[in-house]
Amino acid sequence: MHTTALALLLMSAAGAMAQNTTTQKPDVVTTLTGPGELQVGRSARWAMSLKNEGWAVAAQTRTTIVLPPGTDLDIRISLTSPNGYRAVPVNCSYAVLTRTLTCLANNIAVGETRNFNIDLQGPVMPSNLTITANTAIAAGAPDSNLANNSASTNTLVASFTPAITFPTTNARMWMCPGKRELLECSSIPNWALPLDANGQMVVTGVVRLAATAPQGSGTFTMNQYGTWGQLVYSWNLTPYNSRCYQGPVTSYVTGDPYPYEGRVCH
């Protein structure tokens, strides 16, 4: 190849690379997941993620969610807030008058994902609940693809009466030691709860555990037996959705960091 032609080719390639570098942009993809169904008046978790699938850092993203009427952020009770406070997610703010939740995420690197847990209290009347998250880049290079900046979920809110039959090997129990309610956990641990024809499970080992679950609303009881004697924990369960019952602890060992809420799903 002639020397002049080769030089022109290299200059053209370098120019194209420089132009491509200057036009690189982020691409923030918004994902939102939530419960498919929920008992009227119950609270549940929606999980939102922002992933940068582009070619440049997303300097600052702003995501807004306008809560539908009848829906609010989950209300938490604490020693310092006995009347309750709204559970505003980290890096978010909530405008009561406009019912708008705004979440900020700065400097999302290429390939990085930022996650938000959004705990909401559902309507007290049956409805089809739609939650929508809209994301925009507020500073820095603009988003290269606006088509994936919004995400929605649909939840059936109704009065459920879960049908439970014993025996069952599909039951599970959900608890979060040391927390007043399940939604205070970043992730809620759960365990298999095989129940016999009487709705009981007995585990024998160093510690013997016996659990009794109701077929409907009622008291879920766990008994632990060891060298210290017998420890009894009870929860008052009412419907949570079409498969689960959930409720607050009604008896426990004083000083034991056991959960305030328990859930049994079938």
Separation CA 145–CA 119 (nearest Å): 28
Q: Are 201 and 211 in contact (CB under 8 A)?
A: yes
Share of the chain above pLDDT 90, in %: 53
Residue 253 pLDDT more than 80? no
Mean pLDDT along residues 181-202 = 87
Predicted TM-score of the model (pTM): 0.84
pLDDT digits (tens, 9 = 90+) for 33-81: 999 999 999 999 999 999 999 999 999 999 999 999 999 999 887 656 6
Predicted local distance difference test score (pLDDT) of residue 185: 87
Alpha-carbon distances, residue 42 vs 92, 208, 243, 248 (angstroms): 22, 33, 14, 13
- Domains, the chain, in order of start with CATH, read 28-158 (2.60.40.1510), 172-265 (no CATH)
Token digits of residue 142: 């603009």
pLDDT in tens, 90-123: 999 999 999 999 999 999 999 999 999 999 999 9
At 12 the three-state DSSP class reads: helix
